[in-house]
């Protein structure tokens, strides 16, 4: 929040001096020429200059993050997310909310400490670990028919035959198409008549292979959990996190990035003793 007196000062100033109306700038001939040059540069150097097309992501840049909201589906048993508007510009001169949330809500990271006693917490993750090559294993067609499916070593071998070797230190992500269900908790959890959730995840044999053979940095999924929904043993969590790697859950937009060749950026909050936390994930290529 602000230092004492700031809100009162801002409110008084707004009442005495309403903010001026901002007119859209006119585009001069010189600015138009520069804009054209910038577009040419973006085309010549993908991933370095990003042209925007009316949305937050342009060519060579993709947002992999769901909008954080109190309605976003949570893992069963997790306390609900809530928010309260504490101050408004109209009444207080400033706008601000207070959120109450579990660390593992919406698009978020699982740090090693989430499942490991004395494992590293989010402030202990190095910046160099939060920028990595990213590859996408697409199992969406299979997941549409079998929600219990998992990423297997066969999927990884098929990926490498088509796209080349998975880079050392990569974040390996599963695209299952599950993000399309995120607007409904029931559809996203996909529980059967017995209350068992049915959604895809990684298989343990796949992450064993990735850790040993490719020395990956972490894995990511577009579902509620690194493990498939019906898992009761959390084998994938208990393989990846004790290896001092991380996981990212509830990603979106993985089908918008190249299967291989992009870089992922993970803006996880380094709050004290964090077992993970909300994460602004995006990719560039």
* Structural domain spans, the chain: 6-55, 108-284
CATH code of the domain made up of 108-284: 3.50.30.50
pLDDT at 180: 97
Task: Give the distance from CA 276 to its chain's centroid.
Answer: 12
| pLDDT tens for each residue of 97-145 | 999 999 999 999 999 999 999 999 999 999 999 999 999 999 999 999 9
H-assigned helices in 214-249: 237-240
Q: Name the one residue in this structure whose structure tokens are 């589906």.
A: 73
- Quick one: pLDDT band at residue 23, thresholds 50, 70, 90? very low
Residue 9 has pLDDT above 50, yes or no: no
| pLDDT tens for each residue of 43-81 | 333 333 333 334 556 679 999 999 999 999 999 999 999
pLDDT at 13: 47
| pLDDT tens for each residue of 220-273 | 999 999 999 999 999 999 999 999 999 999 999 999 999 999 999 999 999 999
Distance separating alpha carbons of residues 163 and 138, to the nearest angstrom: 12
Residue 77's beta-bridge partner residues? none
pLDDT at 18: 52
pLDDT at 59: 78
For the full predicted model, state whether its pTM sits above 0.75.
yes
Query: 133 near 167, Cβ under 8 Å?
Result: yes
| pLDDT tens for each residue of 186-199 | 999 999 999 999 99
Residues 6 or more apart in contact with residue 217 via CB below 8 angstroms: 129, 132, 169, 170, 171, 245, 246
Three-state SS at 213: helix
As a whole number, mean pLDDT of residues 186-214 equals 98
**Among candidate residues 212, 284, 216, 215, the one with its CA nearest the CA of residue 248:** 216
């Amino acid at each position: 929040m602000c230092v004492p007196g700031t809100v009162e000062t801002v409110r008084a100033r707004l009442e005495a001096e309403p903010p001026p109306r901002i007119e859209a700038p006119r585009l001069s001939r010189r600015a138009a020429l520069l804009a054209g040059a910038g577009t040419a540069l973006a085309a010549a150097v993908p991933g370095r200059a990003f042209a925007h097309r009316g949305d937050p992501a342009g060519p060579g840049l993709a947002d992999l993050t769901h909008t954080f909201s109190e309605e976003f589906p949570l893992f069963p048993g997790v306390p609900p997310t809530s928010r309260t508007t504490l101050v408004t510009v109209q009444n207080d001169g400033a706008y601000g909310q207070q959120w109450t949330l579990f660390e593992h809500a919406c698009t978020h990271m699982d740090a090693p400490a989430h499942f490991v006693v004395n494992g590293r917490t989010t402030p202990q993750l190095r910046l160099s670990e939060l920028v990595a090559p990213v590859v996408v294993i697409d199992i969406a067609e299979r997941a549409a028919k079998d929600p219990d499916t998992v990423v297997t070593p066969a999927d990884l071998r098929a990926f490498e035959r088509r796209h080349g070797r998975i880079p050392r230190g990569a974040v390996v992500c599963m695209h299952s198409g599950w993000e399309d269900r995120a607007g409904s908790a029931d559809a996203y959890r996909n529980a059967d008549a017995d209350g068992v959730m049915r959604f895809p995840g990684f298989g343990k044999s796949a992450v064993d292979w990735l850790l040993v053979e490719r020395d990956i940095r972490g894995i990511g999924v577009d579902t509620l959990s690194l493990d498939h929904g019906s898992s009761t043993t959390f084998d994938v969590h208990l393989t990846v996190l004790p290896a001092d790697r991380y996981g990212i859950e509830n990603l979106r937009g993985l089908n918008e990035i190249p299967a291989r060749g992009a870089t992922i950026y993970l803006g996880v909050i380094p709050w004290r003793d964090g077992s993970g936390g909300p994460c602004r994930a995006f990719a560039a290529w």
